[in-house]
Amino acid sequence: MPRPKNALILTVILALVIGLAPDAAPQDTIRIGYIDPLSGPFAATGENGLNQFRYAADAINKAGGVLGKKLELVPLDNKVSPQESLIQLKKVIGEGIPFIFQGNSSGVAHAISDAVQKHNERNAGNRVLYLNYSAVDPALTNDKCHYWHFRFDAHADMKMAALTDVIQANRNIKKIYILGQDYSFGKAVAEAAVSMLGKKRPDIQIVGNELHPIGKVKDFSPYVQKIVASGADAVITGNWGADMIGLAKAANDGGLKVPFYTYYAASDGVTAAIGAAGVDRIRLVHETHPGNPTAPKALGDYITGYRKLHPQNDVNQPRIHTALNMLALAIKKAGTIDVDKVAAALEGLEYTNVGGDQVIMRREDHQLQMPVYISVHTNKGIKHDLDASGFGLSLESKVERDKAMQPSACKMQRPS
Amino acid sequence: MSTPTPAAARPLAIDQASRSGGLRAFGLWLGVALLLVVLPFVIRTPVAVPIMSQMGIAIVFALSFNMLLGQGGMLSFGHAVYFGVGGFIAAHALNLAAARGVYLPVPLVPLAGGLGGLVFAMIFGAFSTIRSGTVFAMISLGVGELMAASSLIFDRFFGGEEGITTNRAKAPLLFGLTFTKDREVYYLIAFWVVVTAAAMYAFSRTPIGRIANAVRDNPERAEFVGYSPRWVRYVSFCAAGLFAGIAGGLFAVNYEILTAENMGLNASGAVLLMTYIGGIGYFLGPIMGAVVFTFLQSMLSDYTGIWLLYLGILFLATVLFVPAGLAGLLMLHAPAWRAGRLPRLIGPYLLVAVFGVVAAVGVVGAFEMTHFLASAESTRATKRLFGVAVAPRTAAPWLAFIALTAVGALGLRWAAPRATAALAEANRPGPSR
Amino acid sequence: MLQIAFFSVLNGLVYGMLLFMLSSGLTLIFGMMGVLNFAHAGFYMLGAYVAYTMGLYIGFWPALLVAPVLVGVAGALVERHGLRRVHRFGHVAELVFTFGVALLIEEVVALVWGRPAKAYEVPALLDFPLFRVFGSSFPAYKGFMLLVAVAIFLFIFAILSRTRAGLIIQASLTHPGMVAMLGHNVPRVFMVVFGIGSALAGLAGVIAGPVLGTFPGMAQVLGSIVFVVVVIGGLGSLTGAFVASLLIGIVQTFAVALDVSVGNVLMALGVPARASVALHDIWKVTIAQVAPIMPYLLLVLVLMIRPTGLFGTRET
């Protein structure tokens, strides 16, 4: 028997379909897709990344935009799922957006990179450029490289080379535990650690090499117990997002006091979780000056400006500024948003980033070459803190660009 | 003990169609096929073709799910396992074909998927279908979670976190057909949709398909009539697994990537949602549900971050108030349509629609503003809603949306009973007055 | 080794007791009404979020008392206005309804509180190491969790077996028709039990939020495991839920701690080493990686062999 609520349901559907009028997209913008998690265990990273992109784009737009047009960011939530990312990619292509940025999770990066390559090969008139700002599995610029993928972060091997240099110099370390997330990046970190340590400090014993499911472990105490039981003097981990927060919390709770050598143990909640327990103990390898103890002026201004807009968040991925600006530069250089011409302009492009470093996009494998920094978690001399916690990263050492370069196995096929 | 399903869920729309004769039914299928062929030329936006391909896959998947739920009375929370496994096997088969290990052109890849789905359904069905009802649902949940969790362990088959990718451009050709363009893939999917839908329809008309309905309604009595409910459930289960596997194979061809997520609880939940919203008691139900669900999922997510909330509300409203689903809602008007009295309903329905839209705008506006305040956008001052920039931190838009909701709700209270009465009147048997 | 065993037992106990807090309500609801409440983990999540928000204004301890009550009321309302209406459509419809409620709760939480995790912290009073042994410490908060869970178990046990209301509930578990004929308001009993079950889930959320994280996906994380516990323990059996929770909690925690591979285990069981080639994929896999699937394996096995579970008396 029909009920009034039936009608209500029908009209709800109707309203949903026609009622939500979209933003009338102005024709004169350059649309850039941002495919990253805006929900799920890594939402904080994705949302903060989006804010940093918007901040950098606003600065470019204020200065006149690119080719007279404003940059417009189109966020698309992929929930760190390769699946969902491809669905978003299809949307991006369907709407004619020529550039996409993605960075959270190398697993997703592989799927997107693969899909972009296939699509570009099959649809020469409708290509998409994939700008990878944070997925650092080395394979993406080695055996899985291709012409339409550009990477703007130092990859896992570049970073591990710097980390292992620091470990090499520390004679107190005799046993190391490696813990990581069970996917391409985590595996790459473990592999690189084992092989590089084997060359630089063969006397160091690897007492644990463990992978855990990504984004699923609720309680890291059992892992912390194993680390303690193994007698390790140091821990190497590539964990990020919720997994790094969980590990830091469990390490604090369990009273684990050994040094940590990490890729992502700062910001997005991690610094606050580590707190006082990690001072002078947790180290991070990353790609731009940390801002402390003395930040280069441009960087200091950039961070301060961002903090005014987002008091609870940090400029924890300054490579976003680099990536967006290099794209803008390449478009200007090419004089068009045609993907093939922009890619050609982006290859070999040199740029001075906001931290004052001279970076260059290597033609051979589309890997940006840059210096690599090692910083330590502390509360001394911190002018720009993280997570509004009073703690932050202070610069310890820097590996210059030419020394940080790693050889590549890329055999790039160029479009004719 | 399970209570029999209500009358609204039992009659299948096909009962009516059979009275008109086989030729008319064939004409219907032909018409549908023609419609699918013509569709890409009618709807020309570039994003339409990928969405229609997605809808096609969802249709096959939902129809296979309804073989279990609507026709067999078996609620499965793990149906995506057979979809996913079919997809993985299809992807591996396609990779094998690309390496020229086996001759498998792209159009036949879904068959490989179907085979995979069938084999796994036969294995898991052996113990899943021993009982029906809640125990069946729990086992299906367990199997689903088991498979999803196993994906990290058997990473040669499942590809670990990255999944398995494949390339349909490298497969051997059949009649020289390549499938590099989206539209070509769409036609392939449309072809398989028609074939599998016809097959599933035919299955529901076979003796075992009809007995499955009997087992759903009263297993004890079916047993007394001479059929083993367990065997009947098993056959339905295997058939459903076969078609889910075909859907998985289509997915593999379309997206060229399979991950463990395709087998997980989210995928199983999605197919349950779309089938139920469409209406489990009618053959057309899952088709409508799949189309609406895919459409809302793709289009809504462009405009709002809380589209899943709206879908959830729609689902819950369907379960509570319209258990027969969209198809049931349509079928409710069948007597009026046959008597030619539908036009009488336009007036009352329009009134309901107007007030309904007003109320919906109010509710949606309030939800969107709440979402805005809790999300990353909250650093901005205004948000564009319904074409107007509103400032969620001020009181004005809130009052406006609450007022709209109130007006709409009151209007519905007035207009809805009239629409109900009008429908009852239009459905009344006898000559038109 | 002893250190790992000691802490694994402790952590396993804590995790197991948390599972018990969640599954106790679910098994009562399941056993009494035959309803598999998918939304149960959703009430767990609501408890955590409500306590977090209230804690910002009135502190952790008052929130600890008030939040579960609010969640219990919400649960009772869901039963009264939703479940009762769907009840006449049969078990399948009830299952589908609770599934929808679970989805809705997750989306509403994400709507109101946002998607990133909330910084729901352990209260300062309990933020210290309880004891330090074998070079590792055990946080006092986890000890608190254990205490609360044990207290709940004793409380429920006492109510069910010593009070009149508890006797009526127990009777309704096995003979609802008879209880109704004796003049008791069985629908009201159902509503009360549903409300109390949800309140228990909410309490579990209040306690576990700081430890397991407060984010919209937290219901999904524990949701399936709780069903496993309830089914393995037996429908309607509190003792069963208790035993099964501890079993799963300890087994899962131990599994993570072991560095043993599946191959090692198989060899210890007598499988020859040559099999490592055929079983290549799973040979090198460690027990820790297999840990997540063990509860589900157990679930499927129990459902096949003994659908009433370890301590239960009925199936549906």
Q: Does the structure show a pLDDT above 70 at C277?
A: no
- The A residues from 347 to 406 touching B (CB cutoff 8 Å) are none
Q: How far is A36 from chain C (nearest CA, A)?
A: 14
Structure tokens at A242: 């919720």
Higher pLDDT, B403 or B12: B403
Q: What is the CATH number of the domain that holds C47?
A: 1.10.3470
Domain identity same for B75 and B151? yes
Q: Does the structure show a pLDDT above 80 at A384?
A: yes
Residue B4, in any domain of the structure: no
Helix ranges (DSSP H) in B256-283 = 265-278
**Count of other CB atoms within 10 angstroms of residue C65:** 13
Q: Please tell me the predicted confidence (pLDDT) of residue B17.
A: 45
Q: Please tell me the predicted confidence (pLDDT) of residue A174.
A: 93
Residue C316, in any domain of the structure: no
C86 touches chain B (CB under 8 A): yes
SS (H, E, C) chain A: CCCHHHHHHHHHHHHHHHHCCCCCCCCCEEEEEEEECCCCCCHHHHHHHHHHHHHHHHHHHHCCCECCEEEEEEEEECCCCHHHHHHHHHHHHHCCCCEEEECCCHHHHHHHHHHHHHHHHHCCCCCCEEEECCCCCHHHHCCCCCCCEEECCCCHHHHHHHHHHHHHHCCCCCEEEEEEECCHHHHHHHHHHHHHHHHHCCCCEEEEEEEECCCCCCCCHHHHHHHHHHCCCEEEECCCCHHHHHHHHHHHHCCCCCCEEECCCCCCCHHHHHHHHHCCCEEEEECCCCCCCCCCHHHHHHHHHHHHHCCCCCCCCCHHHHHHHHHHHHHHHHCCCCHHHHHHHHCCCEEECCCCCEEEECCCCCEEECCEEEEEEECCCCCCCCCCCCCEEEEEEEECHHHHCCCCCCCCCCCC
Domain identity same for B282 and B383? no
Burial label for B270, CB within 10 Å (0-12, 13-18, 19+), is: buried
| Contact assignment for B153 to C307 by CB distance below 8 Å | no
What is the CATH topology of the domain spanning A157-293+372-402?
Rossmann fold (3.40.50)
> What value, to the nearest 5°, has the Cα angle with vertex C307 and ends C303 and C310?
100
| Contact assignment for A223 to C259 by CB distance below 8 Å | no
How far is C-alpha A38 from the geometric centre of its chain's CA atoms?
A: 14
C4, amino acid identity: I
Q: Does the structure show a pLDDT above 90 at C75?
A: yes
C132 touches chain A (CB under 8 A): yes
CA–CA distances in Å: residue C75 to residues B315, C200, C217:
19, 11, 20
Residue that terminates a domain, selected from B297, B332, B367? B332
C315 touches chain B (CB under 8 A): yes
Q: Which residue of C has its CA nearest to B155?
A: C281
Mean of the per-residue pLDDT values for chain C? 84
| Contact assignment for B75 to C95 by CB distance below 8 Å | yes
Of the pLDDT bands very low, low, confident and very high (cuts 50, 70, 90), residue B35 is: confident
Best residue of A5, A11, A308 to probe chain B, by most B CBs closer than 10 Å: A11
Reduced to 3 states, what is the DSSP secondary structure of residue B388? strand
Neighbouring chains of A at 3+ CB pairs under 8 Å are B, C
Distance, CA of A47 to CA of B423 (rounded, Å): 49
A94 touches chain B (CB under 8 A): yes
| Contact assignment for B127 to C104 by CB distance below 8 Å | no
Domain identity same for B322 and B355? no
Best residue of B65, B143, B153 to probe chain C, by most C CBs closer than 10 Å: B153
Percent of chain B's residues with pLDDT above 70: 93
Q: Which of A119, A191, A136, A392 is nearest to A278 (CA)?
A: A392
A16 touches chain B (CB under 8 A): yes
Residue B60, in any domain of the structure: yes
Residue B6, in any domain of the structure: no
Domain identity same for B326 and B195? yes
Angle of helix B134-150 relative to helix B109-128, nearest 10 degrees? 130
Neighbouring chains of B at 3+ CB pairs under 8 Å are A, C
Q: Please tell me the predicted confidence (pLDDT) of residue A319.
A: 94
Residue B326, in any domain of the structure: yes
| Contact assignment for C259 to A226 by CB distance below 8 Å | yes
Cα radius of gyration (chain A): 22
Q: Which of A372, A325, A326 is nearest to A347 (CA)?
A: A326
Percent of chain A's residues with pLDDT above 90: 57
Residue C170, in any domain of the structure: yes
Domain identity same for B323 and B353? no
What does the pLDDT average to over B349-354? 89
Residue C313, in any domain of the structure: no
Distance, CA of B315 to CA of A230 (rounded, Å): 51
Q: Please tell me the predicted confidence (pLDDT) of residue B379.
A: 63
Cβ-Cβ contacts under 8 Å for B256 (sequence gap 6 or more): A114, A115, A118, B91, B165, B166, B167, B168
Burial label for C149, CB within 10 Å (0-12, 13-18, 19+), is: buried
> What value, to the nearest 5°, has the Cα angle with vertex B329 and ends B194 and B320?
115
| Contact assignment for A11 to B423 by CB distance below 8 Å | no
Residue B10, in any domain of the structure: no
Residue B25, in any domain of the structure: no
Distance, CA of A197 to CA of B298 (rounded, Å): 48
Q: How many CB pairs under 8 A join B and C?
A: 136
Residue that terminates a domain, selected from B296, B311, B332? B332
Which residues of A are less than 8 Å from C257 in CB distance? 222, 225-226
Domain identity same for B297 and B381? no
Domain identity same for B321 and B353? no
- Report how far apart the first and last C-alpha atoms of chain B are (Å, whole number): 46
C61 touches chain A (CB under 8 A): no
What does the pLDDT average to over C124-134? 82
| Contact assignment for A225 to C115 by CB distance below 8 Å | no
Distance, CA of C316 to CA of C308 (rounded, Å): 8
Domain identity same for B299 and B378? no
Q: How far is C130 from chain B (nearest CA, A)?
A: 35
pTM of the full predicted structure?
A: 0.87
Q: How far is A38 from chain C (nearest CA, A)?
A: 8
A4 touches chain B (CB under 8 A): yes
Percent of chain A's residues with pLDDT above 70: 93
B44 touches chain A (CB under 8 A): no
Which residues of B are less than 8 Å from C292 in CB distance? 149, 152
Q: Does the structure show a pLDDT above 70 at B433?
A: no
What does the pLDDT average to over A39-43? 74
Across the interface, of C110, C222, C257, the residue whose CB is closest to A225 is C257
Q: Please tell me the predicted confidence (pLDDT) of residue B116.
A: 95
C180 touches chain B (CB under 8 A): no
Q: Does the structure show a pLDDT above 60 at B13?
A: no
| Contact assignment for A12 to B356 by CB distance below 8 Å | yes
Q: Please tell me the predicted confidence (pLDDT) of residue C280.
A: 63
Question: Structurally, how many domains does chain C consist of?
Answer: 1
Over the stretch B271-323, which tens digit does the pLDDT of each residue have? Answer: 999 999 999 989 999 999 999 999 888 778 777 778 889 989 999 988 988 88
Over the stretch C164-194, which tens digit does the pLDDT of each residue have? Answer: 888 888 787 778 788 889 888 888 888 988 9
Q: Please tell me the predicted confidence (pLDDT) of residue A21.
A: 36
Q: Does the structure show a pLDDT above 60 at B4?
A: no
Check if the beta carbon of residue C233 is closer than 8 Å to that of residue C312: yes
Domain identity same for B274 and B407? no
Q: How far is B417 from chain A (nearest CA, A)?
A: 6
Q: Does the structure show a pLDDT above 90 at B125?
A: yes
Query: HSE of A20 in the Cβ direction (CA atoms, 13 Å)?
Result: 24
Q: Does the structure show a pLDDT above 50 at B421?
A: yes
Residue B433, in any domain of the structure: no
Find the domain containing B361 and state its range: 341-427
Domain identity same for B317 and B369? no
Best residue of C141, C256, C261, C284 to probe chain A, by most A CBs closer than 10 Å: C256
Query: HSE of A116 in the Cβ direction (CA atoms, 13 Å)?
Result: 32
Domain identity same for B152 and B216? yes
Query: HSE of B289 in the Cβ direction (CA atoms, 13 Å)?
Result: 35
C292 touches chain A (CB under 8 A): yes
The helix or strand, by DSSP H or E, that contains position B391, with its residue range, turns out to be none
- The C residues from 97 to 126 touching A (CB cutoff 8 Å) are 110, 115-117, 119
ipTM entry: 0.85
Whether the upstream peptide bond of residue A293 has omega within 30° of 0, thus cis, is yes
Which residues of C are less than 8 Å from B320 in CB distance? 82, 85-86, 97
Best residue of C37, C99, C266 to probe chain B, by most B CBs closer than 10 Å: C99
β-pairing, A350-352 vs A358-361, is antiparallel
Q: Mean pLDDT lowest for which of A53-57, A194-198, B72-76, B155-159?
A: B155-159
| Contact assignment for A223 to C256 by CB distance below 8 Å | yes
Find the domain containing C118 and state its range: 2-305
Structure tokens at B288: 């409508």
Over the stretch C296-309, which tens digit does the pLDDT of each residue have? Answer: 888 888 888 887 77
Of the pLDDT bands very low, low, confident and very high (cuts 50, 70, 90), residue A22 is: very low
Structure tokens at A114: 């693969």
Q: How far is A233 from chain C (nearest CA, A)?
A: 13
Q: Which residue of B has its CA nearest to A82?
A: B162
**Count of other CB atoms within 10 angstroms of residue B177:** 12
Q: Which of C304, A372, A119 is nearest to B131 (CA)?
A: C304
Q: Does the structure show a pLDDT above 50 at B29?
A: yes
Q: Which of A278, A282, A235 is nearest to A255 (CA)?
A: A278
Q: What is the CATH number of the domain that holds B188?
A: 1.10.3470
Higher pLDDT, A10 or A348: A348
Residue B241, in any domain of the structure: yes
Q: Which of B10, B6, B354, B400 is nearest to A10 (CA)?
A: B354
Q: Mean pLDDT lowest for which of A302-311, B60-69, C232-241?
A: C232-241
**Count of other CB atoms within 10 angstroms of residue B20:** 11
Q: How far is C89 from chain B (nearest CA, A)?
A: 6
Q: Which residue of B has its CA nearest to C97?
A: B319
Q: Please tell me the predicted confidence (pLDDT) of residue A112.
A: 95
Burial label for C203, CB within 10 Å (0-12, 13-18, 19+), is: buried
β-pairing, A368-369 vs A358-361, is antiparallel
**Positive/negative CA dihedral, B63, B67, B70, B73:** negative
Higher pLDDT, C275 or C176: C176
Over the stretch A87-100, which tens digit does the pLDDT of each residue have? Answer: 889 889 888 899 99
Reduced to 3 states, what is the DSSP secondary structure of residue C286? strand
Over the stretch C132-141, which tens digit does the pLDDT of each residue have? Answer: 877 777 888 8
Question: Structurally, how many domains does chain B consist of?
Answer: 2
Which residues of C are less than 8 Å from A218 in CB distance? 212-213, 221-222
Q: Please tell me the predicted confidence (pLDDT) of residue C305.
A: 82
Burial label for B254, CB within 10 Å (0-12, 13-18, 19+), is: buried
Residue C196, in any domain of the structure: yes
Q: Please tell me the predicted confidence (pLDDT) of residue B2.
A: 47
Mean of the per-residue pLDDT values for chain A? 87
Check if the beta carbon of residue B402 is closer than 8 Å to that of residue B366: yes
Best residue of C2, C6, C7 to probe chain A, by most A CBs closer than 10 Å: C7
Q: Which of C90, B339, B260, B271 is nearest to A216 (CA)?
A: B260
Check if the beta carbon of residue C91 is closer than 8 Å to that of residue B2: yes
Domain identity same for B362 and B400? yes
Over the stretch A122-176, which tens digit does the pLDDT of each residue have? Answer: 888 889 999 999 999 999 999 999 999 999 999 999 999 999 998 998 899 999 9
3-state helix, strand, coil in chain C (%, to 5): 75, 5, 20
Cβ-Cβ contacts under 8 Å for C100 (sequence gap 6 or more): B312, B315, B316, B319
A59 touches chain C (CB under 8 A): no
